[in-house]
Chains A and B, each alone.
Chain A
Amino acid sequence: MRWCRRCLYPDTKVDLEIDESGVCSACKNFEARPTIDWEARAKEFVDVIERHKSHPVYDAIVPVSGGKDSHYQVASLRTLGFNPLLVTATTCDLSPLGRKNLDNIRTICGGSDHIEITPDPVTRRELNKFGLETVGDISWPEHASIFTVPFRVAVEMGIRLVVFGECSQNEYGGPAADSNIIDRRWLEEYGGLLGLRVSDLPFPEEKLWQYTYPTNEELERAGVTGVFMGYYFPWDGYENAQTAKKLGFTVYDGWVEGSCCNYENLDCYLTGLHDYQKFTKFGFGRATDIACNHIRRGRWTRSYALNVVAERDGMFPESYLGKSLDSILSELELSRVEFLEIAHRFRNKKIINEDFRLIHERK
């Protein structure tokens, strides 16, 4: 296992390249930022929205979770003078903090209309278990739905633009780093679906409607496009969090378990299980992502980050946002033994040992 010598990403990260000098593609993308004409891109962004206006009232759809990035996106659009429709694919097992932030986001900058779509929670629970057992990712349905639900609403309401936030390919160093467009192919290739597709899910079609991406015909007829705001503005989750806090966003009291920040992933209790499985598959967790973002922007030194990550990364999810593992598992009707068995099944035996510790030392 090799680590980037600037940040802390390992070469086991999907779609990441570490070059001969030891620098990873995420760092290189970030270094390229000053060369980009951000003013031109900001103008382009306004232009994109203007060109896609079709609905008499709403200028675009903004998919929101109520989190820091969502707040930033809504605030940006409203201050630019647009009227977005906020669309949330409500997560399963929503925390009170998540609920509070969702209630807040529709009040900011003059207020926005907000549609919350809650896919049938009975099926959702089954889907979560299916994701956990088949590909070791309890958040698989969530990751699919946050893309598919907004596009469905766009098609059904005749709103031609969906404005997503961070482009993960750019932030985390993938081959599609320069993409501003998000479409079905992007989701299949870069959306972290682990090889699973909606057509694999053993549920009747009508139960999977919200997880099903609109067909090409539907999208063409409605003329719907999805874009990443992260292409048009230099993205920074931490800065977005500061902006959001001024607008009423509430952070967690302390660093979230398995991570090293208090401002992200505050809405779904299952995220702890997801992050833990990410660590056991790839050898790094959410703390690494946050630390790398800080390192690149000069807020943390690498050696400081190394200590933080050594302590926080891959923490066993004994609790998440204060809710105990036993309580989370009992709602899923899973025993601890079953969960551990699943974790072992998907553990990458080359990099994680039987005690769920990294075999190679981070350096």
Chain B
Amino acid sequence: MINFVKIAYSFLIKRLRLNLRRDLEFVFVIYQPQARNIYIKPDGPWFAKIGCVDNTSDFALKPQKIRVLKTRIVPVLLFRDGLLVKGRQFNSWRRIGPPIPAVRVMDRRNVDELVFLDIGATPEEREPDFELIEEVASEVYSPLTVGGGVSHVSHFRELLRVGADKVSVNTAAVNDPSLLETAARKFGSQCVTVSIDVLEGKVATGCGSLLHDLSPISWARECERLGAGEILLNSVERDGTLGGYDLDLIQSVSNAVNIPVVACGGCGSFEDMALALNHAHAVAAGALFAFTECTPIQAARYLASRGYPTRVECSDNGRERIFRNRINT
């Protein structure tokens, strides 16, 4: 459900170059018809400044910060050899359990988004497992980003057909960037996510096995130029350590592009998420949800209490409102 701002009269909103998602929220603004020259300027990943340029108008609208988007808390599930796995620094993979129960739990939790990566596909030189993804997609109603082994436009088509909402591509995009352009043209930027793994300050592909002489900032810019809708940015060094995100990396890449950046790799606490959200658009976590008692809704509550716009809010009477993304049966 998208709530539209009812800004009437002579003012037209230029639609900010954003992906239309369920987390889009505009704010009612009431103003006098005489006040012209109202502007809305993006301020950070999800705030905007709304104000009035013309100081001579009777109604002076002080510049105010309004919320435009809500952030997302995104659990990441990694799949390999028939089970979910979690590793450290893209190594020492431990099998942690079967995929379907974990996916069902995420669905129950009404997560903002779920990332499901078949990390065995590229090392095994095979294409995505469409049967598996179909099963996963049937178990979860939240937006689902699927990746792993995506190397051809037909993979995009098939994954979207079996139920993925967004398709993430990593190795194949570095090897052939035109794939991004073709996919964005055929299916739309909103379902093209580029997953960027960073090791020693450079882009790594093949599940962290091959280092390229390519900086994440220039690669991210290139991806945006080619039509990618979002970047999933992962730090190989921080992966699985629960020791905090690589904030410098997140800041530098987020500042370099206008498309949303999802921070990943190293999240160990809700405070880590808050720090990352000063630059990134959304936060992802793997080990945090797999190995500790932390759940996405607890993260949302914490972030809401710190002033970040999440899908969980405390209204004035102290009762929680959770933005539902499904019709409850």
Contact = CB atoms under 8 A, between A and B. Distances in A.
B82 interface: yes
> Which bucket holds chain B's interface residue count?
20 to 34
Interface in B117-175: 131, 135
Interface string A318-350: 000000000000000000000000000110111
B101 A351 contact: no
A185 B82 CA distance: 25
A14 B97 contact: yes
Interface stretch (A104-112, A190-198, A235-243): A190-198
B329 interface: no
Interface stretch (A132-140, A266-274, A291-299): A132-140
A188 B83 contact: no
Nearest to A190: B291
Nearest to B294: A197
A15 B101 contact: no
Interface string B91-107: 00011111011101110
B69 to A, nearest CB: 26
A11 interface: yes
A200 B108 contact: yes
B65 interface: no
B244 to A, nearest CB: 18
Contact of A195 (B82, B135, B290, B297): B290
Given A188-B292, A351-B82, A134 B105 contact: yes
A188 B95 contact: no
B85 to A, nearest CB: 10
Contacts, number: 75
The bracket for how many chain A residues form the interface is 20 to 34
A12 B101 contact: no
A189 B131 CA distance: 29
A134 B98 contact: no
Given A184-B293, A349-B135, A14 B102 contact: no
A175 interface: yes
A194 B101 contact: yes
Contact of A197 (B95, B101, B131, B295): B295
B38 to A, nearest CB: 44
Nearest to B289: A195
A192 B290 CA distance: 11
Given A135-B104, A351-B82, A188 B98 contact: no
A199 interface: yes
Contacts of A350: 82
A13 interface: yes
Nearest to B131: A349
B74 to A, nearest CB: 15
B81 to A, nearest CB: 7
Contacts of B135: 349
B81 A137 contact: no
Closest A-B pairs by Cβ, 10 of them: A135-B101, A195-B102, A194-B101, A189-B291, A195-B105, A281-B98, A14-B95, A196-B105, A350-B82, A194-B97
Interface of A: 1, 11-16, 134-137, 175, 184-185, 188-189, 192, 194-197, 199-200, 213, 281-282, 345-346, 348-351
